[in-house]
Structure 1
């Protein structure tokens, strides 16, 4: 379970560029053993890029909730355990030919990666930090 972030931390992290947010997400997800999505009555919220249908993911509840505004104000932030992500989500997203948007913020899009790429990065980080 993650520790709530201070407003100053949130502001600082929101200012990261897409690559920095990706690295932050990988470290946080491995450290906290959970990744965050937004859900509504239809399931997981999706974004569309020119080329891909994507599932946006965030490293912390606060960032996911900050996206639940406007047309998404009825969405809820939901944590997925890292084990469940590895065992179900990576394969499910690949089977559905969905990509992942890494930690989009209000000012810019996140990086778009494929599920196996994120899975690989998370496992590499877990090895580095000794979390398995």
Structure 2
């Protein structure tokens, strides 16, 4: 969270649409990273044509988080190439980001 707050950007993978995951419960999960290089490491297999794309933090907080909450999309924070990461709700991500921005 500190890197995202410091650089005021968050990164996803895009190829005319955003890379998404799914889980066994039918949830959509948006993977996000604190830096371009980490997103690039996951641009393999089904996402090999995807490129890292930044999202300005203000835009993410004001538009993306409410949209994900409305769509019931979860977030995978810091997905790794071996499919590890932390899945959280957009509301929890917003709370964590707000806490970090206050420091």
Same structural fold, with TM-score higher than 0.5 when normalized by the shorter chain: yes
Change (3 A) 1:75 1:108: closer
| Secondary structure, aligned partner of 1:31 | helix
Q: What is aligned with 2:24? A: 50
- Unaligned stretches of 5+ residues in structure 1: 1-25
Q: What is aligned with 2:44? A: 69
- Superposed CA deviations along residues 70-118 of structure 1, whole A, max 9, x for unmatched, are 2211101100011001110000101111000011102342111000100
Q: What is aligned with 1:84? A: 59
Deviating beyond 2 angstroms after TM superposition, the runs of 4 or more aligned structure 1 residues are: none
**What TM-score, normalized by structure 1, do the two folds share?**
0.74
- Unaligned stretches of 5+ residues in structure 2: none
Quick one: distance in 2 between partners of 1:71 and 1:56? 14
Give 1 or 2: higher helix fraction.
Answer: 1
